[in-house]
Amino acid sequence: MTQAGAAAQPARERILGTAFRLFYAHGPRGVGVDTVIAESGVAKATFYKHFPRKDDLVLAYLDKVDQGWFGGLRAAARAAGEDPRMQLVGMFDALSTACRREGYHGCAFINAAAESPTGGDVHTRTVEHKRIVRAWVTDLARRAGAADPALLARQLTLLIDGGLGDGVLEADPATPAAAKAAAQALVDAACHGD
């Protein structure tokens, strides 16, 4: 985006866009408020008008990440078809898309949780995100006829998180396909018949 284009954006969106880029690359703790202010081109008073605490900005960043990641997960599931069993496996295509993205640094929620004190607003938001995703997967597993939908959802979300982590550690392009194959085996074992 050009400087003129950036200046045309509302200040809150410029701040959030800058924070999104910096926080994902360096972690929320690795980026100071002054850096976000300088790179977004807003006055300090404008920043604090929109985000009175840094945690408020981190929470807004996590909401933006949630929209993209959870939206991508649901879109990948829908793209697999109407059968919930296929959706449970198809959602792993979102893992493939995420891990191939330039500048990929893993799961923003896991990264934020790792550097946040347990019980704080940011850590609580990361746990909430994981619970919401797992509840959605549990519902899919129930509709797919899993004998124990909660267990299957737990297994599949652990597999997703492991794939996100491995995408950073190994950066092996075969990881998403391996995770998807493992998901298929778990779904086949858990969901018998129609």
Mean residue pLDDT across the chain: 90
What confidence score (pLDDT) does residue 97 get?
A: 81
Could you give the residue range(s) of every CATH 1.10.357.10 domain in the chain? 55-190
Which single residue is written with the structure tokens 């959602």? 91
Instruction: Note the pLDDT tens digit of each residue in 170-180.
Output: 777 888 899 99
- Each residue's pLDDT tens digit, 149-187: 999 999 999 999 998 888 777 777 888 899 999 999 999
Q: Which pLDDT band, with edges at 50, 70 and 90, does 58 fall under?
A: very high
Q: So what CATH class is 1-52?
A: mainly alpha
Averaged over 84-90, what is the pLDDT? 97
From CA 37, how far away is CA 33, in angstroms rounded? 6
86: number of Cβ within 10 Å: 16
**How far is 66 from 147, CA to CA, in rounded Å?**
29
Which overall architecture, per CATH, does domain 55-190 show? Orthogonal Bundle (1.10)
pLDDT at 103: 74
Q: Is pLDDT above 70 for 112? A: yes
Within the chain, all domains assigned CATH 1.10.10.60 are found at 1-52
Give the model's pLDDT for residue 169.
Answer: 77
Does the structure show a pLDDT above 50 at 2?
Answer: no
Coil, strand or helix: which one is 170?
Answer: coil
Kindly indicate the confidence band of residue 96, based on its pLDDT and cuts at 50, 70 and 90: confident
Interval 4-32 mean pLDDT: 85
Residues in the chain, total:
194
DSSP H helices, the chain, are 3-8, 11-26, 33-40, 44-50, 54-79, 84-90, 93-100, 108-114, 121-143, 149-169, 175-190
Is the pLDDT confidence value at 1 over 90? no
